[in-house]
């Protein structure tokens, strides 16, 4: 098991990582999710032993890794751009860590075949990396990372260089491969869908610190703060009079809990029988829905969605609220579904 306690990394006057404590249980996958510049890569590099800690400890199986060099930690690192050896074949790339470990030839051949199968590229051994698509190259990089049987796999934005549809597909495959191999992994990414697909637990990192850590579904459903909510995709935030008006129209009873109501876009749908009324200010068609910005009567601007591709700016619409896609957020604590 990996344990970080009070990990702090500074660069001159900048604190890139501040007092981060996290655990990754054996066989589980933790995603550190945060915007660019929040300190994710620095944290990963600190775990790998590539960055000096200014405070705190990194432990593996209870052993403090201070002073243990990167190559003796038994961890593997995989980056956004795979970093394959361009002049070697796919098989030679995957074989490289096996050769370093002086495995026998027959075992190496068998293992390379097995890994190619695992990442969905059987028969690709003789190809050069340059003849592969970006997604295939990342599959090879993953196979190479797994070849050394690392006790911990460190993934730095492994899918970020790929386009959206490929990234979604590969994220699902990556999840399956990590589960099938029982790999313990720490993934850092800015993409919340990727974190949600690949990991069991999430740590949302903002400005160097962990703002919330827990099972992915819990962070998704009940973000602890407004900043976390915004980062995991909540789009509308209501408090004061607009909140009261919204609750009344949505049929919520009693007094609202203190705090701000955060709503996902899907919490508000165009529905002729809905009790909220509004005027569409913007309608943008995406792959499988139309995203709306609606001026809701008595409430104000809210993000909403519809499947009706005929809805235009200026249309008067009725809307239905689904409070299961909302959460009350505070600066320090949270409570779901008032």
For binding to ligand ADP (CB under 6 A), which residues are involved?
A: 11, 14, 16, 34, 36-42
Least CB distance from residue 199 to ligand ADP, whole Å?
Answer: 16
Q: Concatenated DSSP letters for 98-160?
A: HHHTT--HHHHHHHHHHHHHHTT-TT-TTS-GGGS-HHHHHHHHHHHHHHT--SEEEEESTTT
Which residues, in sequence order, are bridge partners of residue 212?
A: 204
User: Phi and psi (nearest 5°) for 76?
Assistant: -115, 145
Least CB distance from residue 41 to ligand ADP, whole Å?
Answer: 3
118/139 Cα distance (integer angstroms): 9
C-beta closer to ligand ADP: residue 34 or 259 = 34
Asked if residues 196 and 6 have their Cβ atoms less than 8 Å apart, the reply is: no
Least CB distance from residue 294 to ligand ADP, whole Å?
Answer: 34
C-beta closer to ligand ADP: residue 24 or 146 = 24
C-beta closer to ligand ADP: residue 25 or 37 = 37
C-beta closer to ligand ADP: residue 143 or 198 = 198
C-beta closer to ligand ADP: residue 219 or 292 = 219
Least CB distance from residue 188 to ligand ADP, whole Å?
Answer: 6
Q: Is 105 left (phi over 0), alpha (psi -120 to 50) or beta?
A: alpha
CB atoms within 10 A of CB 213: 19
247/13 Cα distance (integer angstroms): 46
Least CB distance from residue 187 to ligand ADP, whole Å?
Answer: 12
Least CB distance from residue 39 to ligand ADP, whole Å?
Answer: 4
Q: Concatenated DSSP letters for 256-279?
A: PPSSEEEE-GGGEEE-TT-SEEEE
C-beta closer to ligand ADP: residue 38 or 118 = 38
């Amino acid at each position: 098991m990996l344990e970080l306690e009070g990990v702090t990394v500074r660069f001159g006057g900048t604190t890139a990582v501040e007092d981060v404590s996290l655990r990754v249980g054996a066989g589980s996958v933790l995603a550190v999710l945060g915007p660019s510049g929040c300190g994710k890569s620095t944290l990963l590099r600190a775990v790998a032993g590539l960055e000096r800690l200014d405070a705190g400890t990194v432990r593996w199986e209870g052993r403090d890794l201070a002073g243990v060099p990167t190559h003796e930690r038994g961890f593997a690192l995989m980056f956004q751009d795979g970093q394959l050896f361009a002049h070697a074949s796919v098989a030679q790339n995957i074989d490289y860590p096996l050769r370093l470990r002086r495995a026998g030839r027959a075992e190496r051949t068998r293992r390379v075949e097995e890994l190619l199968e695992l990442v969905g590229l059987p028969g690709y051994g003789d190809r050069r990396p340059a003849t592969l698509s970006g997604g295939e190259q990342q599959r090879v990089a993953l196979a190479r990372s797994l070849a050394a049987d690392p006790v911990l796999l460190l993934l730095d934005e492994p899918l970020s260089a790929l386009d959206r549809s490929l990234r979604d597909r590969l994220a699902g495959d990556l999840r399956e491969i990590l589960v099938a191999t029982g790999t313990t992994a720490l993934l850092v990414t800015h993409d919340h869908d990727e974190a949600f697909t690949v990991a069991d637990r999430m740590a949302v990192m903002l400005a160097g610190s962990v703002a919330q850590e827990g099972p992915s579904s819990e962070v998704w459903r009940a973000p602890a703060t407004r900043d976390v909510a915004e980062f995991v995709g909540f789009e509308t935030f209501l408090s004061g009079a607009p909140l009261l008006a919204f609750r009344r129209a949505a049929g919520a009873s009693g007094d609202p809990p203190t705090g701000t109501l955060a709503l996902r876009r899907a919490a508000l749908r165009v529905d002729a029988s809905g009790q909220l009324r509004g005027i569409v200010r913007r309608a943008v068609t995406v792959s499988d829905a139309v995203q709306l910005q609606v001026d809701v009567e008595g409430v104000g601007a809210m993000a909403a969605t519809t499947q009706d591709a005929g809805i235009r700016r200026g249309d008067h619409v009725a809307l239905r609220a689904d409070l299961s896609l909302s959460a009350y957020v505070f600066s320090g604590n949270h409570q779901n579904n008032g």
